Amino acid sequence: MKIAVTAASGQLGSSIAKQLINELGKQDVIGIARSPKKANHLGIEIRKGDYDSRQELDLALKDIDVVLLVSGMAEPQKRIQQHRNVIETAKVNGIKKIVYTSIIGDEKNTSFAPIVQSNRQTELDIKNSGLEWVIGRNGIYIEPDLDYLDNYIKEGEIRNCAGKGKCAYTSRKELGYAYTKMLVEGTHNGHTYNLSGEPISQKKLTEYINSVYHTELVYNSISVKDYCAERKEALGEFLGSVISGIYEAIHNGTYNVASDFEKATGRPHQSAIEMIRELKISDNN
Assess 265 for contact with ligand NAP (CB under 6 A).
no
Assess 31 for contact with ligand NAP (CB under 6 A).
no
Report how many residues bind ligand NAP under the rule CB under 6 A: 22
Compute CA 68 distance to the chain's CA centroid, rounded to the nearest angstrom: 12
Q: Within the chain, what is the greatest distance between any pair of CA atoms?
A: 55
The answer to whether residues 180 and 116 touch, using CB atoms and an 8 Å cutoff, is no
**Cα separation of 111 and 77, whole Å?**
15
Q: Which of 100, 112, 133, 141 binds ligand NAP (CB under 6 A)?
A: 141
Assess 122 for contact with ligand NAP (CB under 6 A).
no
Q: CB nearer to ligand NAP: give 38 or 191.
A: 38
Assess 10 for contact with ligand NAP (CB under 6 A).
yes
Q: CB nearer to ligand NAP: give 34 or 188.
A: 34
Assess 179 for contact with ligand NAP (CB under 6 A).
no
Q: Which of 12, 126, 195, 228 binds ligand NAP (CB under 6 A)?
A: 12
By DSSP bridging, strand 166-170 and strand 199-201 are: antiparallel
| Beta-bridge mates of residue 216 | none
Q: Which of 28, 50, 106, 274 binds ligand NAP (CB under 6 A)?
A: 50
Assess 73 for contact with ligand NAP (CB under 6 A).
yes
Q: CB nearer to ligand NAP: give 147 or 216.
A: 147
b/e per residue, 135-166, with b = 16+ CB within 10 A?
bbbbbbbbbebbeebeebeeeeebbbbbbebb
**Cα separation of 234 and 176, whole Å?**
31
Q: Which residues bind ligand NAP (CB under 6 A)?
A: 7, 9-13, 34-35, 38, 50-52, 70-73, 82, 103, 138, 140-141, 172
